[in-house]
Amino acid sequence: MVTPRARSKVPAREQWLAAGAALGNLLNAVHQLGFGAIILSGERCFDPELTTQLGIRPEEFLAGFISLGTVSEMPPSKKHTLPGEVWTCWTPPAEHKAAAGTAHPAESAIK
C-alpha cells in the first residue's frame, strides 16, 4: 500500500518511486533466499469492493499483490540478448540541429 503525503519534503513521484524500489528489493531478497515471488497489479488494485474489504482509505493506493512461494519447477531458460542488439543512440533530427545553430558539446567530442 502506498500513501503519498502531499505536505512532505519528498515529492509524490519520489514517494512512488521509493515504494517501487522497496518492492523490487523485497523480490530480490526473496529470490536470493531461494524462493519465488511476483508482484501482480492491474485492475484488481482499483477494485472498489476489494479495497473497501481491505480497509484501504481514499488517499491510499494498492501498489500490487505479492505472491511468495517455493519454486517447484524452474522456468525454461531464455535466449540472452546482447546489449548491442537492443541498445541505440538517439540523435536529434537535422531540423533540430539547424534550429539550435551549434552542435552540442558531447556531439563534437564523439567525432
Rounded percentage of the chain residues whose pLDDT exceeds 90: 42
What are 46-81's pLDDT values in tens digits? 999 999 999 999 888 899 999 999 988 888 898 889
What's the average model confidence in pLDDT over 102-106? 56
pTM of the model: 0.61
Q: What's residue 78's pLDDT?
A: 87
Instruction: With cut-offs at 50, 70 and 90, classify the pLDDT of residue 40.
Output: very high
1-71 is a CATH 1.10.630.10 domain: no
Res 59: pLDDT = 86
pLDDT at 35 over 90: yes
CB burial class (10 A; 0-12, 13-18, 19+) of residue 20?
middle
Concatenating the DSSP letter of every residue in 71-96 gives -SSPPPP-PPPPHHHH-------HHH
